[in-house]
Amino acid sequence: MGDIDKKITHVLFCGPHFPASQDYTREYLVDYSFVQVDDVPLAAVPDVIEKYDICIVKSMKLDFNVLSRAKKMKLVMQFGVGLEGVDIDAATKFGIKVARIPSHATGNAASCAEMAIYLMLGLLRKQNEMQTSIKQRMLGGPIGETLLGKTVFILGYGNIGMDLAKRLKPFGVKIIATKRNWDTHLDYSCQSNGDLVDEKGGHEDIHTFASSADIVVVCLCLNIETVGIVNKSFISSMRKGALLVNIARGGLLDYDAVLYSLKSGHLGGLGMDVAWTEPFDPDDPILKLKNVLITPHVAGSTEYSYRSTSKVVGDVAIQLHEGKPLTGLEFVN
């Protein structure tokens, strides 16, 4: 890439995954020659990060060592909401601001909520078995189930959880949800018929709620408190045959507990847009099971969401270049 022009604000996208993020950002900034958008392989990031003003982390792990090399860096952000790969304490030490883009403002939350419903319906209607019926030229099977009459436990009632609740109501489901910290200003509109349970979300409570649900949808942020929260104890508390859907982060689920429960038949099915390691191994034993649906981390990857998020990234780059306050972000340090 050669020497970096100091009159240009340089934006670095890390790695090959989610390529539309940098492509759409470049399109948005096509008329702003003073902003340069680059993307480099993950392995190259430590060697070039010193040249950049803004870093879009994507699936990169930005630890103390990498951040210590970011001599010009003003801002690290995610093309979305998850920041578990960023050492926020180290960024703070080096004077680098860290931010996420609020999901409710870009359509990301709505896109993820729709994906959760897609996975739920796919499991209920036995999507994998339908493909087998097509190959066998068989009509009228398998017999699936409806969302109508089901109880759905939303584990993590943030922006995505709230969007999901609103979209599920027309299906005729009962909704229960937990959130660790309830804010008094939250919109409790979906409580109008007594569905939503307002709780603090402690481990004992979530086991109780899981036992009441036909479907559990995981919408939590991944952090030191929530990693592996859907473990053997949690799954054992779920009804036999209940479905588990994860649209948040793979690390929220204990792999061994999920695999065992699927094989034993205690879990009726698993739908996930995220996995324990990404990209996920296509030969993983979990994917051999007929009641498992997986999508390649595309819940938030919609035209609407990506165009909106690219605009936020582009606007922030312009604001930084012009020395203006940064807007549209949620800072975490």
Residues classed as catalytic: 249, 278, 297
Partner residues linked to 267 by β-bridges:
242
Report the amino acid identity of residue 48.
V
DSSP state of 8: S
The DSSP H or E segment spanning 91 is: helix 88-93
Helix and strand numbers (H, E) in the chain are 11, 12
* Helix, strand, coil percent content, the chain, rounded in steps of 5: 40, 15, 45
The separation between CA 252 and the C-alpha centre of its own chain, rounded to angstroms, equals 11
Burial of 73 (0-12, 13-18, 19+ CB in 10 A): buried
Q: Apex CA 52: angle with CA 51 and CA 55, to 5°? A: 145
